Amino acid sequence: MGEPEVLTPEWRAPPKVRAAFTLRGGGVSAAPFDSLNLGARVGDSPAAVAENRRRVCQILNLPAEPAWLEQVHGTRVADLDAAGELEAPADAVLTRTPGRVCAVQVADCMPVLFAARDASAVAVAHAGWRGLAAGVLEATVAKLAASPGQLIAWLGPAISRRHFEVGGEVRAAFVARDPGADAAFVANPRGRWQCDLAALARRRLAALGVTEVSGGAWCTYAEPARFFSFRRDGRCGRLAALIWLD
């Protein structure tokens, strides 16, 4: 199906910061993981996943194999520069060392890339509603140990408010901490709520002092030709957000 397809973030990152978001085309996986599935825990053929990952490394000219996390919708941030950090589950990862590739996998949850303006560090967080509510973005910024004003962020493709229906418990989890988060939820005729992940992420970042935020305009659910979506398809592949320092 041709070469792997990727989306290049448009943000004002320093030249030494490299980043990409993979799309679903250009791999070898069979349905329902067709075709560039990068997830090794979704039921796909291990050989197909390995080949897909090899293709991504090749097309992006990655300096190393990405650090594939065991993600659990939590708030732990792994530091690639410290030994043993990948042995436990994590939902965000950072590095300050050129040549090490940070990655998270998604299929509706929002990936959030971070870069220091002086190119001293990069990170990526896996931010579905559970991770956002629990504080994965706050944990990532804290572990980067940089002034929030010296960080920039990019919100990758995720399920949009139009397609993300949630129960009242989800809204309550955000509003209890930030009453203004109510603006990210719209009541629907079924007595439930349409949730805007991008708006919630922007609120959390703004509260931290991260004011330069790009992206957030793509809907994984609405574009089946480009994106996997767990909410739309159930069994499906995983996309990846990657970031590294040259």
The 3-state secondary structure of 19-63, one letter per residue:
EEEECCCCCCCCCCCCCCCCCCCCCCCHHHHHHHHHHHHHHCCCC
Percent of the chain with pLDDT over 90: 99
pLDDT reading at 171 higher than 70:
yes
Q: pLDDT band for position 191 (50/70/90)?
A: very high
Q: 211-220 as b/e, with b when 16 or more CB fall inside 10 Å?
A: eebebbebbb
Query: Which CATH class, in words, describes the domain spanning 6-245?
Result: alpha beta
pLDDT reading at 1 higher than 60:
no
- DSSP code string of 100-143: -EEEEEESSSEEEEEEETTSS-EEEEEE-HHHHHHTHHHHHHHH
**Residue range 6-11: mean pLDDT, rounded:** 97
Q: Where does residue 126 fall: left (phi above 0), alpha (psi -120 to 50 degrees), or beta otherwise? A: beta
Calpha distance 198→156 (Å, rounded): 9
Average pLDDT of the chain to the nearest whole number: 97
pTM of the model: 0.96
pLDDT in tens, 46-68: 999 999 999 999 999 999 999 99
- 72: number of CA atoms within 13 Å, CB side? 9
Please give the pLDDT value at position 134.
Answer: 97
Three-state DSSP class for 170?
helix
Q: pLDDT band for position 2 (50/70/90)?
A: confident
